Amino acid sequence: MIEGILVDGLIFAVMALGVFITFRVLNFPDLTVDGSFATGAAVAAMSITNGLGIFPGMLLAFASGAAAGTITAVIHNRLKVPNLLAGILTMTMLYSINIRILGGRANIALLRVDTIISKVIQIGGSIPREWTLLIFMIIFTGIVKILLDVFFHTDMGITLGAMGDNEQMVVSQGVNPKAMKVIGVSLSNGLVALSGAMLAQYQGFADANLGVGIVVQGLAAVMLGEFLFRSNKIGMLTIQVIFGAILYKALMFFGRYYGYYINLTPSDLKLLTGVLVIVSLVVAKTRKNIGSRKRGIQ
C-alpha cells in the first residue's frame, strides 16, 4: 500500500514540478496542463505501440508538452490576452488534438507492449514489483529534480526566478520577458507531459480525459508542500513539491478507501481537492497575517 502511494506520488510529482514552475516561479497561472498531461500520455502510448521505442516516445512526449506550452505563451505574448485565457484556449484545443493523436479514439491500451514499467520490472527480477517500481521512480523523479535544480542555478534559471516576482527588473536587464515566458511555460508543460507519459505506462493505458482537473491537483500538491518547511533554496523548494505530491496522493488514497465511512465516493475526490486548495489558501493567508502582526507591520 505505502509503496503504491509513493510510486503514485512520485509520478505525480513530476507534473507538480511543472505546475510549480508556472504558478510559483513564473507567476503565470497556466491551465494548459489539463490538456498537455493527456498529450504526453497519448504521444508516449502511440509512439510505443507503433514501435518507435520507449525512450524516443518519452522524449517526444516531453517535446509535445513543451510545444503546447509554447503555444500558450505565444498566444499570451502576441495577442496580449490574459495568461489564464491563453491556457484555457490551448487546453481546449488540445482535447481534439489528443483524440487525433490517439487515432480518433478516446483511449488506447498498452497491455501487450513493452513499456518502461515492464522493462524495469524485468530488470528488478525477484524483487517485488511495487518495490522495483518505487526504486525506479525515486531515481527517475530524483533525476528530474536535480536537472531542474541545476537549471535554476544557471543564469537563465535565475532570471526566470526573477520573472515572476519582478518583470520590470528582468526587462531593465535587457532580457526579453516574452522569451522568458515561452521558455518557462514550455519547460513546465514538458514536465507535465513527461509525467503523463509515465502515468500512461504505469496504468497501462492512455486516455484523452486523463488530465481533467489535474492542474488543481498539482496546485494542491505545491501548496501542501509549502506547509512542510520554509526555505529560499531552489533545491529545498523542489523537495517541497515532491513531498507535497506524495502527501496529496496519500490524502486522496485515504479519501478513496476510508471515505465511505462518511459517504464519500471516488467522484467526490475533485471536490475534496478543491476544498484542500481553499483550506491551504486560508491557512497561508492567516499565517501571513499572524507573521506580519508579530513583526509589527500590517
Partner 1 sequence: MINITKITKTFNPGTVNENTAIRNLSLTVQEGDFITIVGSNGAGKTTLLNLISGSILPSSGTMYILGNDVTRTPEYKRAAYIGRIFQDPTLGTSGKLSLEHNMNICSRKGFKGLKISLDAKKRQLFREELIALEMGLENRLKDNVGLLSGGQRQALTLLMTVLSRPELLLLDEHTAALDPRNAEIVLSLTQRFVDEGNLTSMMVTHNMKHAIEYGNRLLMMDRGDIILDVSGDEKKNLTVEKLVKKFHEIKQTEYTSDEALLTT
Q: Which residues of the chain form contacts with partner 1 (CB under 8 A)?
A: 150-151, 153-156, 158-159, 161-162, 164-166, 168-177, 179, 232
Beta carbon of residue 257, minimum distance to partner 1 (angstroms, whole number): 39
Beta carbon of residue 77, minimum distance to partner 1 (angstroms, whole number): 12
Angle at 292 between CA 286 and CA 295, to 5 degrees: 145
Residue placing its CB nearer to partner 1 in the complex, 112 or 155: 155
Instruction: Report the 10 Å Cβ neighbour count for 232.
Output: 6
Beta carbon of residue 262, minimum distance to partner 1 (angstroms, whole number): 40
Beta carbon of residue 78, minimum distance to partner 1 (angstroms, whole number): 14
Residue placing its CB nearer to partner 1 in the complex, 101 or 234: 234
Residue placing its CB nearer to partner 1 in the complex, 110 or 170: 170
Beta carbon of residue 186, minimum distance to partner 1 (angstroms, whole number): 14
Q: Phi/psi of residue 78, each to 5°?
A: -75, -45
Beta carbon of residue 252, minimum distance to partner 1 (angstroms, whole number): 30
SS3 category, 157: helix
Residue placing its CB nearer to partner 1 in the complex, 43 or 175: 175
Residue placing its CB nearer to partner 1 in the complex, 17 or 247: 17
The three three-digit cell numbers of residue 239, written as one number: 523537495
**Residues near 265 by Cβ (< 8 Å), separated by ≥ 6?**
259
Beta carbon of residue 281, minimum distance to partner 1 (angstroms, whole number): 19
Residue placing its CB nearer to partner 1 in the complex, 27 or 118: 27
Residue placing its CB nearer to partner 1 in the complex, 27 or 203: 27
C-beta separation of 243 from 229 below 8 A: no
The three three-digit cell numbers of residue 85, written as one number: 485565457
In whole angstroms, give the CA distance from residue 239 to residue 13: 10
Q: Which residues pair with 108 in a beta bridge?
A: 206
In whole angstroms, give the CA distance from residue 134 to residue 111: 20
In whole angstroms, give the CA distance from residue 46 to residue 53: 10
In whole angstroms, give the CA distance from residue 38 to residue 107: 10
